[in-house]
A and B are shown apart, each in its own frame.
Chain A
Amino acid sequence: MAKNPNIKINVQGGGSTAGIQAVFNKTCAIGTSSRYLEPSEQSLHTYTMAIDGIAIIIHPSNPITNLTHDALKDIFSGRITNWKDVGGPDKKIIIVTREEGSGTRGAFEDLIMHKTAISDACLVQDSNGAIRETIAITPQAIGYISAGLVDERVKPLSIDDIYPSVENFENGEYKFIRPFLLLTKDEPTGVVKSFIEYILSSEAQKILQHEGLIPVSIINNERTNL
């Protein structure tokens, strides 16, 4: 900002679907999304700015440290309802999920649930922060958030013995990762183009890395190309 005082950037929140819609409606120059595009949305130009892992988190007092992918699916679909069935204490599992339409939920459904539906009995919270807060105060809870937002009040779980660490995202061992996309309707020009170039530059990528995301330069090209 200090370097380019003449450029103003207005940022608005609202979720992945809102970000994609806004580009289609031309209400913004650049949209962002934390999920892959649907087939009907493929006409947009996409630039992957970073990769983010989805971490499965529980309360720190819960002794469990690892779940198999199948057990995780069974928990979120409501087939496993007690922690003792996955080697934990004899307590009811309280599942926390995101609302319909959320990019994180979409990515979770694609990467982890596949065709299985998430149970209707789950608690629903409307942001990564609200899910983290709910889990931090609920000993029996389990939920999923962006790995960059995990803090010491919650405990991330390994899935199939692979811990959601930056190293495991980068070497491809941890499979549950999704892109953060920049979207434009037409070929970018002018300030839009230079903004996207800046985001992809090593200077901006360092900032994203500092925020807990994985810079695109590290991930091999095969996966970043959509």
Chain B
Amino acid sequence: MKERTSEKILLIISFSAIISLLLITIFIFVQGMPLIFKVGLKNFFSTHWAPTKGNFGILSMIVGSLLVTFGALIIGVPLSLACSIFLAEFAPPPVQKILKPIIELLAGIPSVVYGFIGIVILVPLIRNTLGGSGFSVLTASIILGIMILPTIVSISYDSLVAVPQTYREGSYALGATKWQTVLMVLFPSARSGIIAAIILGMGRAIGETMAVIMIAGNALKIPGSILDPVRTITSTIALELGYSTGDHRAALFACGSILFIIIVLLNIIAIKIARRE
């Protein structure tokens, strides 16, 4: 009897998480979608954003979000994978004991601190070495690439460690070197875990707001090079929500809906890739 009650309570609690997700989704769509139909898809997916003057084009922000997210993955994924392979397979135990908590600590640094470091160090560095204003796609990608490190490292490390020891021994018995074992045995066996790690890292990058606002420059023009400033969807919502009223406010919720759809699509694509044999 007691067990059944606690089971019920746990069930209700777990459902409350799903329900709040559902309520958030419904709320965002109800607030945002009517505007898209009111102004028309052509206006909404144009590149001209001036919501106080009736132009609601969010295309440049969609491009901006995708650019900085993929930029972050290009910088972050190789670093994270190298790091997790080193930690799981090559690092001597004392090194591993120091390195792993330090990398996990990166996840605990508030994003405004990353943004601050970006604005004080990276922005002037990029402006002086590569040109442009320093507020750019590249700057945002580098900072985001570092921000997604701990997520990808810790999950792919766990999935690499979870590969049974017998697989490694079998591989060595066939004469494979350590590196060949990593590439041909461990990676394929840990693949789903590694892809899950990348998906979570991608979610963090596309949703990151504060650091991006501080270093991306937030210009509304579609960037012509990686040294041009860029505006993401989340930046627009955070920058303008405090000031917005009426249609402008609804447009920001519509931005949120589009962001939601993009994230779901990216996840579906990533899962499809993961399952393909």
Contact = CB atoms under 8 A, between A and B. Distances in A.
A133 B133 contact: no
Interface string A114-130: 00010011111110001
B219 A122 contact: yes
Given A15-B242, A100-B243, A123 B248 contact: no
Contact of A123 (B217, B240, B242): B217
A138 B133 contact: yes
A101 B240 contact: yes
A117 B248 CA distance: 18
B239 A99 contact: yes
A21 B60 CA distance: 29
Contact of B217 (A18, A21, A99, A124): A124
Interface string B233-277: 000001110111100100000000000000000000000000000
Interface string A127-141: 000100110011011
Measured as residues with beta carbon below 8 angstroms from the partner, the interface class of chain A is: 20 to 34
B100 interface: no
Contacts of A99: 218, 239-240, 243
A226 B78 CA distance: 61
B248 A101 contact: yes
Contact of B218 (A16, A21, A125): A125
A53 B276 CA distance: 63
Contacts, number: 76
B119 interface: yes
Contacts of A18: 242-243
A102 interface: yes
Contacts of B48: 120
A138 B126 CA distance: 12
A13 B217 CA distance: 23
A45 B233 CA distance: 37
A120 B219 contact: yes
A137 B49 CA distance: 28
A182 to B, nearest CB: 19
A100 B242 contact: no
A120 B214 CA distance: 18
A14 interface: yes
Pick from B48, B218, B238, B243 the residue with the most CB of A within 10 Å: B243
A17 interface: yes
Contacts of A14: 242-243
Interface in A14-30: 14-18, 21
Given A133-B119, A137-B124, A138-B134, A124 B219 contact: yes
B146 to A, nearest CB: 21
B206 interface: no
B220 A123 contact: no
B243 A17 contact: yes
A121 B229 CA distance: 8
Contacts of A117: 50
B44 interface: no
B240 A100 contact: yes
Interface in B115-134: 119-120, 123-124, 127, 133-134
A94 interface: yes
Given A120-B221, A123-B135, A123-B229, 17 more contacts: A13-B242, A15-B242, A17-B245, A100-B240, A100-B243, A100-B244, A101-B242, A101-B243, A101-B245, A120-B49, A121-B229, A122-B219, A123-B219, A124-B219, A124-B220, A126-B238, A137-B119
Q: Which 5 A-B residue pairings sit nearest by Cβ, starting from the closest?
A: A101-B243, A124-B218, A15-B243, A120-B220, A99-B239
14 contacts: A14-B243, A16-B243, A21-B245, A99-B218, A99-B240, A100-B240, A101-B51, A101-B244, A103-B243, A121-B220, A124-B231, A130-B214, A138-B127, A141-B133
